[in-house]
Amino acid sequence: MSLEGRPILVALTGGIACYKTATVVSRLTQAGAHVRVVMTEAATRFITPLTLQSLSGRPVLTSIWEHDDHPDSQHVGLARWCDLMLIAPASANTLARLAHGFADDLVCLTAAALPRDTPLAVAPAMNADMWANPVVQENLDKVKRALGAHAIGPEVGWQACRTSGAGRMSEPEAIVEAVAGVLGAADQRG
């Protein structure tokens, strides 16, 4: 499936895996997608908005109070603009917030405003013990059921906590491939 001309919103939440999302943004942009980026405040502690702006070629938003040139509320405009929203990394905190309807950061607020026919994809990333927590699994299941989210990964591998286990965010190439697959499936349904 071609990503040429497809509007894709990439959302980052707090986690060391943010460094991989820079490559995801770069690969999507190189494939011809029109990429916009939003970040939680926690994500900005791992990677700067300037890095992602340089890779996407578009301003990066980090607050519900920021605006660009859209006349709509920023989160509503972005939700209506995109063909798909990808949250990568999707932290345990963000999965909980999505599962329970919290919308007080730009990422969750925008996800809450997504039209029901716009796909949401999440790429979980966290420590293996966090990933194994039944509450985290329950939250992911609820996000998949209630919001129709597509989970990409996580994988088993080396983690920032210097152990190996499940919870490592999928590699950028696998995420880009999954995004293309989700968009292709949505096109066939629509």
DSSP string, 45-73: GTS-HHHHHHHHSS-EE-STT---S-SS-
What superfamily would CATH give domain 7-189?
Answer: Flavin prenyltransferase-like (3.40.50.1950)
How far apart CA 125 and CA 139 sit, in angstroms, is 14
Q: What is the pLDDT of residues 8-44, one digit of tens each?
A: 999 999 999 999 999 999 999 999 999 999 999 999 9
Is 108 a residue of the active site?
A: no
Q: How many CB atoms lie within 10 A of CB 161?
A: 14
- Using 50, 70 and 90 to split pLDDT, how confident is the model at 68? low
Among 18, 82, 108, 161, which one carries the catalytic annotation?
161
- What are the residue boundaries of the structural domains of the chain, listed by start? 7-189
Q: What is the pLDDT of residues 131-177, one digit of tens each?
A: 999 999 999 999 999 999 999 999 999 888 888 889 999 999 999 99
Specify the pLDDT at position 93.
Answer: 97
Which range is least confidently modeled, 83-87, 104-108, 124-128, 185-189? 185-189
